Amino acid sequence: MHQVVYEEIAVKYPKACGMAGVCEQTIRQRVNEDLRRLVAVKTNVEIGRDALRCHKVFPYLDDLLTTQRGVLFFVHLCAHIATCFRNEKLSFVQPPEEQWDKSDSNSNWLAIITHSSIFWEYAAHDGFGSLSTIAGLGAPIKQWFLNQLWATVFFNLTPFVNAIRAHSPGVRANNVQPYMRSESPPNVLSPLHLISQSIKHDYVYSF
Amino acid sequence: MQRLNEGQHGTPTTVGKLLHAHPKFIEEKQIKHLGECVDTSTLKAKYKAFIADSQRDEKAAGKKKAKALTEKDFVDHVSRFVHLAGLLKMVPPADAESYAEGWRMTLRLMFSHDSKDKSYVHSLLLITGLSNPCPLVSDHLFIAFWRSTSQVEITNRLRYNSPFAFLH
């Protein structure tokens, strides 16, 4: 997941990711090389470079390609939901007991706990491979389905928000902390935030 | 007295009303995930219209005509969407508290440990990884941990202890 996210970010912001002047194809090749080494370390099987010419990553490790595609779609799904929450300025879903009126922060909180909740579903139950079926559709179709998903979420917002809040008990808009800080660990498990921190800093816990 | 719809909601008797308000049956009525909120026939009709529009646009732009989707394809794509929506839960999970406590403990132990003795962190990772019901969390944490450790150290560790068992 870390490398898939890195690949996406590095393609868009090569300079920030230490890949200044490197073309997109080379970035993807380097990520694939990392994944090749990862599998080689894990399985003690060296994968020939010829295999990489014909296939995206490692064709005979069935799960890996499927997972890579699923993870990528998961990242897009989370980004889409975060964008939608931000665009809608959902200040009205704040619980009445909370004195919090900054809609930007509220949207940010909802996006983070939604991400955490979806990640939990995949991590604990299905695995990212289950997303590969929808991830295999064309880009415009995926976008259309994501829009439909948001429409369904928006229509059922209150029960949805109540359910996702249960994954991160005690986390509110004014105390949400997805990053690792030297003085405190995160109070919500948001892998994308930890990954972005990991990409930005050599030492995650020295932030 | 407000009468309940017979058949659908039981009888308007005291017993019937008590049963109607019983947590067991309230829970049954509750929508469990977002997939249940999707009207598949409406969605399929909208999806067909969307595909037809896309194909018309592509034709107008002079692009090569894509393969037409069959009825089976439409059903298949909509079912994939329903599966996706089904992963967004509408009821709080029963094990949410223990899950949250589990990963918080893991993070606290892994990241607040500032000792140079990485073998301690590694042992911790093994323990949490093996006992954690959520292998992908361990996977992620391991990768984050990897970035905080030198390549030589981690390669040696992988060779002899194989924490990549977490990836399964």
Domain count, chain A: 2
**Within this chain, do residues A66 and A55 fall inside the same structural domain, yes or no?**
no
Per-residue pLDDT of chain B (168 residues; tens, 9 = 90+): 344 444 455 677 777 777 777 776 666 667 788 888 888 889 999 999 998 888 888 778 777 766 778 888 899 899 888 888 888 888 877 777 776 776 666 666 555 444 444 444 444 444 444 334 344 444 555 555 544 444 444 444 433 333 332 222
Per CB-CB distance under 8 Å, the chain A contacts of B31 are: 156, 159
Shortest Cα distance, chain A CAs vs residue B42, angstroms: 12
Residue A157 and residue A88 share a domain: yes
Q: Interior CA angle at A17 toward A11 and A22, to 5°?
A: 55
The dihedral sign for the CA sequence A25, A83, A114, B44: negative
Same domain, A37 and A106: no
Q: Tell me, what's the pLDDT at B48?
A: 92
Q: Which parts of chain B fold into alpha helices (H)?
A: 14-20, 23-29, 40-60, 71-86, 96-111, 118-131, 135-146, 151-161
Within 8 A of A152 by CB-CB distance, chain B residues are: 34, 37-38, 85
| Contact yes or no for A168 and B100 at CB 8 A | yes
Residue B49, judged by CB atoms within 10 A of its CB (0-12, 13-18, 19+), counts as: exposed
What pLDDT score was predicted for residue A204?
44
| pTM of full prediction above 0.80 | no
Distance (Å) from the alpha carbon of A123 to chain B's nearest alpha carbon: 5
Q: Tell me, yes or no, whether A33 and A107 share the same domain.
A: no
Is A152 at the interface with chain B, CB within 8 A?
yes
Size of interface A-B (CB pairs under 8 A): 141
A52 and A117 belong to one structural domain: no
In angstroms, the CA A32 to CA A20 distance is 18
Looking at this predicted complex, what is its ipTM? 0.71
* Domain match, A192 and A113 both: yes
Residues A50, B147, A186, B95: is their CA dihedral positive or negative?
positive
With an 8 Å Cβ cutoff, are A202 and B140 in contact?
Answer: no
Compare CB distances from A144 to B50, B143, B164 and report the shortest one's residue: B50
B34, B39, B75, best to mutate vs chain A, most A CBs in 10 Å: B34
**Same domain, yes or no, for A24 and A100?**
no
- Output the CA–CA distances (angstroms, integers) from residue B157 to B24, B117, B118, B154, B161, in the order listed: 51, 13, 10, 5, 6
Tokens of A176: 């949400």
Minimum Cα–Cα distance from B155: chain A residue: A41
Q: Does the CA dihedral A119-A125-A128-A130 come out positive or negative? A: negative
Greatest pairwise CA separation for chain A in angstroms: 61
Q: Contact, B99 vs A124, CB < 8 A?
A: yes
Amino acid present at B111: F
Contact A115/A182 with Cβ under 8 angstroms? no
**Beta carbons within 10 angstroms of residue B162's beta carbon:** 13
B111 vs A45: CA distance, rounded Å:
32
Domain that residue A18 falls in: 1-60
3-class secondary-structure state, position A38: helix
Which of B85, B104, B133 lies nearest to residue A149, judging by beta carbons? B85
* Residue A138 and residue A70 share a domain: yes
B99, A124: Cβ pair inside 8 Å? yes
Looking at residue B46, its pLDDT comes to 92
Distance from CA of A23 to the nearest CA of B (A): 24
Distance CA A86, CA A111 (A): 8
| Whole-number pLDDT of residue B59 | 79
Q: For residues A142 and A75, is the Cβ–Cβ distance under 8 A?
A: no
The answer to whether the Cα torsion of B54, A81, A18, B108 is positive or negative is negative
Question: Is the pLDDT confidence value at A176 over 80?
Answer: yes
Report phi then psi at A59, rounded to 5.
-60, -35
Across the interface, whether the CB atoms of A41 and B143 are under 8 A apart is answered no
Residues A83 and A177 in one domain: yes
Rg, chain B, Cα only: 27
Give A159→chain B minimum CA distance, Å.
Answer: 6
Which residues touch A204 (CB under 8 Å, ≥6 apart)?
Answer: A180, A194, A197, A198, B111, B144, B145, B147, B148
A92 and A55 co-located in one domain: no
Q: Angle of helix B135-146 relative to helix A191-200, nearest 10 degrees? A: 10
